[in-house]
Amino acid sequence: MKVTVFGSGYVGLVTGACFAEAGNNVLCVDIDAGKVARLQQGEIPIHEPGLDDIVRRNFEKDRLRFTTSAEEGIAHGLFQFIAVGTPPEEDGSADLSHVLAVAETIGRHMTDYRIVVDKSTVPVGTADKVRERIEQTLGERGVKVEFDVVSNPEFLKEGAAVADFMKPDRVIVGTDNPRTAELLKTLYDPFTRNRERMIVMDVRSAELTKYAANAMLATKISFMNEIANLAERMGADIEKVRIGIGSDPRIGYSFIYPGAGYGGSCFPKDVKALVHSASEHRFDAELLRSVESVNKRQKELLFHKIKAFFEGNLAGKTIAVWGLAFKPNTDDMREAPSRDLMEAVWAAGGKVRAYDPVAMGEAKRNYGDRPDLELVAKAGDALDGADALAIVTEWQEFRSPDFDDIRDRLRHPVIFDGRNIYEPSLVRSFGLKYYGIGRGERLVV
Ligand SMILES: NC(=O)c1ccc[n+]([C@@H]2O[C@H](COP(=O)([O-])OP(=O)(O)OC[C@H]3O[C@@H](n4cnc5c(N)ncnc54)[C@H](O)[C@@H]3O)[C@@H](O)[C@H]2O)c1
């Protein structure tokens, strides 16, 4: 089948590459000429395990192409996927300008029937706006062309995006047109072979499903962080509590890890957007507002612990930071807790020496050259002469370090573990001080 994908970011590029891998003929359109040029050279602009191979293979077989020409894209695919960004506005609402710009372009160039598929995360009612924008543009051209607008929110996880797309838990399709649902079913069939995974529903329910899923996951994280903060004050160990509650199948073990707060390009903005949408419907989404404020507080916690350890004075101190990406296996630093920590350390007059296995380029792009940030090539290099070590991302390579080496290289032998990847008693047996999240010891003044 012929597929066009607007937006070659984390979602668009994975979507395009995986559809091509299944044998479809895919054209990816992006307005970022630099990105398109890199993709045409076989250079993958993001870190996503397994993506390089798929992109290269399908590019070589001519099943996956990249262009900046929207016109070419609209002429190409029966399916016109919209996978552009929907960043938050100042008031927390989702910025739909990119989505609607694509809709307008489709209306401007469409000559035959097209299925416009919203894959971007968009508020309930956006498919109606996309439809109106296309109709309006067609009207301005004085032409009549049939089209459908479908909601098909994406649930892939950065860091496991290819695997998630290839073997989705579910494919949500929002449409009231059975024929369109059938066509999408054919497109998705190769990814849902062992059992039916497509769930067809009305458009609005599909749009809300995506927000509800992310809001639920963010709620689990904030809930666990809330209990961790209690554990810290009550002398309990949240890791024991986690195992204790996770064993209840109604609760389960996934997504109940306490830590330095959730970040990334999705949870923060999607929770905010849902709170904002609720207010537009004159409803106070009280629970979700709390999820957000608990998370904001949690992202500040590591800094407060470090500051308390140094008795309120971080001026001239250097903090070694392990992990910059918002989670392992990605280079994405959007709303990453590492940023809150580093920015707070800088504001307090301290310096940061940081290492991340793949996000160093992103760190440089975000912060450029500044005297209070040193990016180093190896985890160990961050330690020399640093006053403390903070673990912010739970990369596998940080899990079994040489604790003797850490102790010897740090000026103050202390680890602030924002992801609870170490066993406190083990770390302490090496003569290091250890502060995790919710592990029964309170260090905030
Ligand atoms: N990143 C994730 O893990 C994830 C998961 C599920 C859903 N989503 C949702 O998917 C959407 C895209 O997210 P992302 O992380 O891939 O974003 P991204 O910022 O990585 O990529 C967006 C791309 O769209 C391009 N673009 C913007 N306007 C365009 C236009 N008019 N025509 C063509 N291209 C255009 C940009 O240049 C950019 O390359 C968002 O709504 C996001 O909430 C993201």
Amino acid 360: pLDDT? 97
Which pLDDT score, from 0 to 100, does residue 444 have?
A: 66
- CA 28 / ligand 1 centre spacing (Å): 12
CA pair distance 265, 271, nearest whole angstrom: 11
CA of 205 to the centre of ligand 1 (A): 21
Q: What is the DSSP string of 294-312?
A: HHHHHHHHHHHHHHHHTTT
Other Cβ atoms less than 10 A from the Cβ of 139: the count is 11
Would you say the CB of residue 158 lies under 6 angstroms from ligand 1?
Answer: yes
Report the atom number in ligand 1 closest to the C-alpha of 98.
28
Which two three-digit tokens encode residue 418?
A: 């924002």
Stated pTM of the model:
0.95
> Would you state the structure tokens that stand for residue 89, as one six-digit string?
């506005």
| 8 A C-beta contact, residue 320 and residue 151 | no
- Dihedral of CA atoms 411, 417, 422, 427 in degrees, nearest 10, equals 30
Ligand 1 close to Cβ of residue 83 (< 6 A): yes
Residue 86: count of CB within 10 angstroms of its CB: 24
CA of 323 to the centre of ligand 1 (A): 24
102 C-beta closer than 6 A to ligand 1:
yes
C-alpha span between 429 and 157 (Å, rounded): 37
Number of other CB atoms surrounding residue 249 within 10 Å:
7
Residue closest by Cα to atom 21 of ligand 1: 9
Burial 87-100 (b: 16+ CB within 10 A, else e): ebeeebbbebebbb
| DSSP collapsed to 3 states, 358-424 | CCHHHHHHHHCCCCCEEECCCHHHHCCCCCEEEECCCCHHHCCCCHHHHHHHCCCCEEEECCCCCCH
- Atom number, ligand 1, closest to the C-alpha of residue 265: 1
Residue 222 Cβ < 6 Å to ligand 1: no
Does ligand 1 come within 6 angstroms of the Cβ of 11? Answer: yes
Separation of 83 CA from ligand 1 center, angstroms?
Answer: 5
On whether the CB atoms of residues 273 and 99 are closer than 8 A, the answer is: no
pLDDT of residue 195: 84
Phi, psi dihedral angles at 158 (to 5 degrees) = -60, 140
Determine which one of 51, 54, 215, 266 is catalytic: 266
Cα distance between residue 14 and residue 50, in whole Å? 10
Return the residue matching tokens 């004075």.
Answer: 313
Neighbouring-strand partners of residue 180: none
SS3 318: strand
Question: For residue 121, how far is its CA from the centre of ligand 1 (angstroms)?
Answer: 9
Tell me if 82 CB under 6 Å of ligand 1.
no
CA of 343 to the centre of ligand 1 (A): 26
Q: 5, 6, 11, 165: which to mutate for ligand 1, most atoms within 8 A of CB?
A: 11
pLDDT per residue rounded down to tens, the chain (445 residues): 999 999 999 999 999 999 999 999 999 999 999 999 999 999 999 999 999 999 999 999 999 999 999 999 999 999 999 999 999 999 999 999 999 999 999 999 999 999 999 999 999 999 999 999 999 999 999 999 999 999 999 999 999 999 999 999 999 999 999 999 999 999 999 999 888 899 999 999 999 999 999 999 999 999 999 999 999 999 999 999 999 999 999 999 999 999 999 999 999 999 999 999 999 999 999 999 999 999 999 999 999 999 999 999 999 999 999 999 999 999 999 999 999 999 999 999 999 999 999 999 999 999 999 999 999 999 999 999 899 999 999 999 999 999 999 999 999 999 999 999 999 999 999 999 999 999 988 886 4
Sheet holding 2-6, edge to edge: 64-67, 25-29, 2-6, 79-82, 114-118, 147-151, 171-174, 198-201
Q: Give the count of beta carbons closer than 10 Å to the beta carbon of residue 208.
A: 21
**Ligand 1: which residue has its CA nearest to atom 7?**
154
158 CA closest ligand 1 atom index: 3
* 266 included as an active-site residue: yes
CB-CB contact of 432 with 414 (8 Å) = yes
- Please work out whether the CB of residue 152 comes within 6 Å of at least one atom of ligand 1: no
Does the Cβ of 47 fall within 6 Å of ligand 1? no
